[in-house]
Amino acid sequence: MEEKKYKKNFFLGVVNGILMNFVDAITGSSTVLPLYLSSITSSSILIGFGSSLYNFLWPLPQLFTAYFLEGKKRKKFLYDITAYIRFFAILFMAFLIFKNPKNILPLFLFSMFVYHISGGIAGLPFMDIVGRTIPSTKQHLFWGLRISIGGFLSILGGVLIKFILSKYNFPTNFSLLYFIASIFVGIGLYSFCLVNEPDDIERKVNRNFLKFLKNGFSTILKDKMFTTLFSLRILTGISLALEPFFMVYVVKVLNMRVEITGILISLRMAGLLISNFLWDYIQKKKSLKYLFVISSIVGSLIPIIAYLSSQKHFLIFLLFFLNGIFYSGVQVASPSLLLTISPSGKRETYIGFYNTLLSPIYLFPVINGMIIDNLSFNFAFLLSFLVSVMSFLLSLKLRKL
């Protein structure tokens, strides 16, 4: 691909990531969303379910999308279609929150389902285009810029959240956040709709779906790097599944003011922003492997600090800062390693199988909700710590890339 088009795609992809990360900051599954859900339901299980929809639904359809797109020369058309659906879905959520009907919870969850499943369908053509147009040597920079600059903008989003939550009453405050988010969703999705997609010159002929599954499983199970990366991502996914409950823990257990959530979100984003300079340095001096190694170490510290914060409330600020580092490390390392190990001509298979097979783990917040409701937050903290230690040990087995 000629350099001019590569630079255009790189720029538009980064803009897309910046804006969508900002949206995640002001409405996301680990920040404002669980706080909003806790305002309309007291069930930790339902809060965990709602907070898990993004992570669960984004990868779920990608195996089927991979089969559908396998023999097609162009794939971006699917991204373009879902962009319209996602924009109107989040706009409807904003309107729904503002109206606040009696049956809002099922309607809101259904709207979220439409929004996130559409994002999941779009995920594979997005990843495939990135894999075909962004050189592997620039992959970590691409993902890092999306997260780091988005993180900087999201720090300002934290200030916005603090202002809106303190200035306006419920449900107007949450509705305003979603209306603002819908604007950025529209611009962010449209930016990637403008990328140049080259023809896929290594197309394969469509097979029947059962043969597609058989050949796909046969391919990935023979790749030890894939199976190690997949197992590692499961463990880090379990650790990250505790994140949606931190906001609820701060407000409901530590009895801190709801306005402080804006500061905590800014600290999370500051950790996310600063850490990306670290990831870039580590990748250049060491390898992608060490992004997971260091992320797992940070991940093991988070539940310890969460437990101690019940006695020392100021530690909650450190927790959110480290959580941004942990989330950033996983989000940079996982796609970078996946696209690096994916052979040319089999990229859709690797992406589709990897993401769809991972999807059940993203429902783990529901299990965390059950643990918290029936046992305590401390049991959830202990589980997260043990899993993070396991992910650290497994990350040491990754091959240097």
Instruction: Pick 3-395's CATH classification: 1.10.510.10, 1.10.8.100, 1.25.10.10, 1.20.1250.20.
Output: 1.20.1250.20
pLDDT digits (tens, 9 = 90+) for 343-363: 766 777 777 788 778 878 877
H or E stretch covering 45: helix 44-57
- Given this model, what pLDDT does residue 125 score? 86
204: pLDDT strictly greater than 70? no
287: pLDDT strictly greater than 80? no
- Given this model, what pLDDT does residue 218 score? 78
Query: Is the model's pTM score more than 0.85?
Result: no
Count of beta carbons in the 10 Å neighbourhood of residue 374 = 10
User: What single-letter DSSP state applies at residue 196?
Assistant: P
CA distance 324 to 30: 11
206: pLDDT strictly greater than 60? no
Tokens linked to 5 = 């088009």
- Going from N- to C-terminal start, the domains of the chain cover 3-395
- Given this model, what pLDDT does residue 174 score? 92
pLDDT digits (tens, 9 = 90+) for 227-275: 888 888 888 888 888 887 888 788 878 887 777 777 887 788 788 778 8
- Given this model, what pLDDT does residue 4 score? 66
pLDDT digits (tens, 9 = 90+) for 180-191: 999 999 999 999
- Given this model, what pLDDT does residue 40 score? 85
Mean pLDDT of 307-333: 87
Over the chain, what is the mean pLDDT? 82
Q: What are phi and psi of 311, to 5 degrees?
A: -100, -35
pLDDT digits (tens, 9 = 90+) for 109-156: 999 899 989 988 888 888 888 877 877 667 667 877 787 777 777 777
As to burial, measured by CB atoms within 10 angstroms (0-12 exposed, 13-18 middle, 19+ buried), residue 224 is: exposed
Mean pLDDT of 84-92: 94
As to burial, measured by CB atoms within 10 angstroms (0-12 exposed, 13-18 middle, 19+ buried), residue 317 is: middle
∠ CA 391-373-361, nearest 5°, is 35
- Given this model, what pLDDT does residue 64 score? 80
Q: Using N-to-C axis directions, what is the helix angle for 172-193 and 32-40, rounded to 10°?
A: 140
CA distance 276 to 243: 20
Tokens linked to 313 = 């409330």
Tokens linked to 14 = 């980064």
Q: Is the peptide bond before 343 cis (omega within 30 degrees of 0)?
A: no
CA distance to 23, 237, 335, 388, per residue, from 288 (Å): 27, 18, 11, 18
pLDDT digits (tens, 9 = 90+) for 36-73: 888 888 777 888 777 778 777 877 787 788 777 776 77
> Left (φ > 0), alpha (ψ -120 to 50) or beta: where does 134 sit?
beta
Closest to 133 measured CA to CA, from 7, 288, 30: 7
> Left (φ > 0), alpha (ψ -120 to 50) or beta: where does 139 sit?
alpha
